[in-house]
Amino acid sequence: MRTAKSIVPVVTVLVSIVLVGIVAMRPLVQVAGAHDREDSGSLASAIKPGRPVAGTTVLLYFRAEGCPACARASDYLAELSRRYPELEIRDYEVSHDRGNLALYRRVAGDRGVAAGVVPAFFLDEHRWAGFSETVRREINGNG
C-alpha cells in the first residue's frame, strides 16, 4: 500500500506533464553571465555538510546547450554535489526540451518572476539567474 508521502512524486510528475501541454511556448532569452537575485538565502543555510537532514534538499538547475555561463555553472554544481552529498541537483536542459522549458516557466511563475535567463537556480523560495562569482558566493552563503 502506498503512503501519501510516496504518491507525492508521482502526482508532481503527472501535474508537470499536464502543464507541459497547457503552457504556450515562447522564445527563451539567454543572458549569460548576468545575475538576478530574488532572495538572499543560500545553500549553506539550507544544508550543512556532514550533518544528517530530515529530507533531501533539492536545487533546480535550468540551463541551455551551448551557453558558456551554463557550462561554468555545471562545473560549479559538480563541485557542490561532492561537497553536499545530501543535495539533489535536478538538471533541466531548456533549449531543446520543450517540457523542461515549460517547467522552468512554471517554477519561475510560481515565484512571481519571469523565466528567461539561463542558467537559473531555484532552492526552496530562493532564486538566482545567470552565473557569476557573485551568484556563486550568494548560493554558498558568502554573498
Q: What percent of the chain has pLDDT over 90?
A: 50
- Within-domain flag for 21: no
3-state secondary structure of 128: strand
Asked if residue 7 has pLDDT above 70, the reply is no
Confidence (pLDDT) at 50: 44
- Within-domain flag for 107: yes
- Within-domain flag for 11: no
φ and ψ of 25, to 5 deg: -90, 130
What's the CA gap between 51 and 69, in Å, rounded? 31
- Within-domain flag for 71: yes
Confidence (pLDDT) at 125: 85
* Residue predicted with more confidence, 72 or 43: 72
Tens-place pLDDT, residues 11-33:
343 333 333 332 333 333 333 33
- Within-domain flag for 6: no
**pTM (two decimals):** 0.65
- Within-domain flag for 59: yes
pLDDT band at 73, cuts 50/70/90?
very high
Tens-place pLDDT, residues 105-143:
999 999 999 998 999 999 988 899 999 999 999 988 876
By DSSP bridging, strand 87-93 and strand 126-129 are unpaired
Residue 61: name the closest of 4, 2, 122 by CA: 122
CATH code at 102? 3.40.30.10
Question: Are 92 and 103 contacting, i.e. CB atoms less than 8 angstroms apart?
Answer: yes
Range of the domain at 130: 27-46+53-140
Name the domain count of the chain.
1
- Within-domain flag for 89: yes
Residue 78 buriedness (CB in 10 A; 0-12 / 13-18 / 19+): exposed
CA torsion sign, 125 to 21 to 66 to 36? negative
Q: Left (φ > 0), alpha (ψ -120 to 50) or beta: where does 127 sit? A: beta
Residue 118: name the closest of 140, 143, 97, 142 by CA: 97
